[in-house]
Amino acid sequence: MRWCVLLAVTLAACQQQAVPDYAAVFDGTAGRWLDLTHSFSESTIYWPTDTAGFQLEQLSFGPTDGGWFYASYAFSSAEHGGTHLDAPIHFARGRLTNDQIPLSALMGPAAVVDVSDRADQDYLVTVADLTSWESEHGELPDGGILLLRTGWGARWGDRMAYLGTDRIGADAVADLHFPGLGAEAAEWLVTNRGVVAVGIDTPSIDRGQSADFRAHVVLYAENISGFENVANLDLLPTTGSFVVALPMKIEGGSGGPLRIVAFVP
């Protein structure tokens, strides 16, 4: 009898709880969606060694014999260009490939750490930058996505300003200059916090002058993914937004083109 009474009370309590209005997240009444993705085109910026860039071939465009309009294209691209995903296997043998990353590691609450007021072309985000942010906003959330705003997103479209060089080819890599995440800060994140991904508004998680890509290695060894060339971080609040980052799902891939968006309540 005691269990029957308990069950009846539990059911009554559940019935009184309001059903969440999930539709409000998508119809614009509960907040707004922001696109954090640069469009892919012939002008998309790639790493200097990816000399082909993005290519779009027109296969059909115009009226058909049946009387309707039809458009179709073929595209080609390296995995790591434009707004894209770095899967952990990109720098860590045996870690997750593109298609193995769970959805729970591609979406979550966002924390925007803004260093744009001090980031120069060789700046490294430090542990102090992260702890200073936390002293004001609280701990980085477990299962969250850390977004590093350096201000470099404003340079998108100007290859020289964005990369530090407009040269193409292997020799141009030595000329790269842009900010990134310091190795010590990456170590601090994996040791002390539970973020599932790190995004940045530059071409790489590591700065342009990195010779060992240590931030990549440290993060990806722990199956923490990277999002690079993220757009419009200046439009996001420091806290309170939620990110959904869904890459093209490439079986066995080390990365891929990424459509990343944020919901701001």
In order along its 265 residues, the chain shows pLDDT tens digits of 444 433 343 334 444 556 678 899 998 899 999 999 999 999 999 999 999 999 999 999 999 999 999 999 999 999 999 999 999 999 999 999 999 999 999 999 999 999 999 999 999 999 999 999 999 999 999 999 999 999 999 999 999 999 999 999 999 999 999 999 999 999 999 999 999 999 999 999 999 999 999 999 999 999 999 999 999 999 999 999 999 999 999 999 999 999 999 999 9
Both structure tokens of 164? 């530090």
The total of other beta-carbon atoms located within 10 Å of residue 196's CB is 21
Residue 143 CA to its chain's centroid (Å): 14
The total of other beta-carbon atoms located within 10 Å of residue 147's CB is 25
Sketch the domain layout of the chain as residue ranges: 32-36+79-264
What pairing do the DSSP bridges indicate for beta strands 225-228 and 180-181?
Answer: unpaired
In angstroms, rounded to a whole number, what is the distance separating the alpha carbons of residues 173 and 163?
9
Give 80-148 as a DSSP string: SBSSEEE-GGGTSTTS--GGGS-GGGSEEEEEEEE-TTT--TT-EE-HHHHHHHHHHH-SPPTT-EEEE
Give me the pLDDT at residue 139, please: 98
Q: Is 91 left (phi over 0), alpha (psi -120 to 50) or beta?
A: alpha
Residue 6 CA to its chain's centroid (Å): 46
Q: What does pTM read for this prediction?
A: 0.92
The total of other beta-carbon atoms located within 10 Å of residue 47's CB is 17
In angstroms, rounded to a whole number, what is the distance separating the alpha carbons of residues 73 and 81?
19
Fold of 32-36+79-264: Glucose Oxidase; domain 1 (3.50.30)
**Among 236, 220, 232, CA closest to 85:** 220
Q: Are 164 and 106 contacting, i.e. CB atoms less than 8 angstroms apart?
A: no
Judge residue 251's burial from the number of C-beta atoms within 10 Å of its C-beta, 0-12 exposed, 13-18 middle, 19 or more buried.
exposed
Both structure tokens of 92? 């860590």
